[in-house]
Homo-oligomer: A and B are copies of this chain.
Amino acid sequence: MNFREKETEKKTIYKGNIIDVYSYKVELPNGKEAPRDVVRHPGAVAVLPVDENGNIYLVQQFRFPINQELYEIPAGKIDSGEEHYECAVRELKEETGMSSDDMVYLGGIYTTPGFSDEIIHIYIAKNLSYGKSCPDEDEFLSVVKVTKEEFIKMISENKITDAKTLSAYAKALIYGGI
């Protein structure tokens, strides 16, 4: 079956630092017209760091759009021209100070395909070594180490509510890395 929607009109609404916003008109499979607002994003990576005892490293940071602090796996947006593997290595180092000589790519996830093209590339990182973190100057976060049992409890108690963190956990379980 072909449900493809055909672009008939495109209007630039906004060019921001990270996101751009466009308003489209599309032709639906039934020939009718519909509006589609799209938030374009450069893409991001997220890294699930697991140590030799099965502990998981999270970062706790304030998220302005939802006005609260979240627990998330280390993550960040891909810089222009950067490969997602490079980005994963960089973000893990910047946010937690850690390096890994065993990073495995678990695939990309679409965070909100109804209105955005954002993809987050998920890695699991093992064989960790520890150094000094170096977050961006406008980035404020703390690193939190939890056992696998604590991590699961935080999910069931809705203390972990971040979709990329939950998605990475699902992928790591299936991959067998956790």
Which A residues form the contact surface with B (CB < 8 A)? 1, 3-5, 7, 13-14, 16-19, 21, 23-24, 26, 28-30, 32, 34-41, 44, 60-66, 69-70, 72, 77, 107-120, 137-138, 140-142, 152, 155-156, 158, 161-164, 166-167, 169-171, 173-175
Choose one: B1, B37, B167; the contact of A163 (CB below 8 Å): B167
What's the nearest-Cβ distance from chain B to residue A97, in Å?
17
A sample of 24 inter-chain contacts (CB < 8 A) reads A1-B142, A3-B60, A3-B62, A14-B14, A17-B35, A17-B37, A21-B39, A24-B64, A30-B140, A39-B115, A44-B114, A66-B113, A66-B117, A66-B119, A70-B110, A70-B113, A72-B113, A109-B161, A109-B162, A109-B163, A152-B174, A155-B171, A163-B164, A167-B167
B158 close to A108 (CB less than 8 A):
yes
Q: Is the interface of A mostly helix, strand, loop or mixed?
A: mixed
B residues near A70, Cβ cutoff 8 Å: 110, 113
Choose one: B7, B63, B138, B158; the contact of A114 (CB below 8 Å): B63
B114 close to A65 (CB less than 8 A):
yes
What's the nearest-Cβ distance from chain B to residue A41, in Å?
7
What's the nearest-Cβ distance from chain B to residue A28, in Å?
6
B residues near A174, Cβ cutoff 8 Å: 152, 155-156
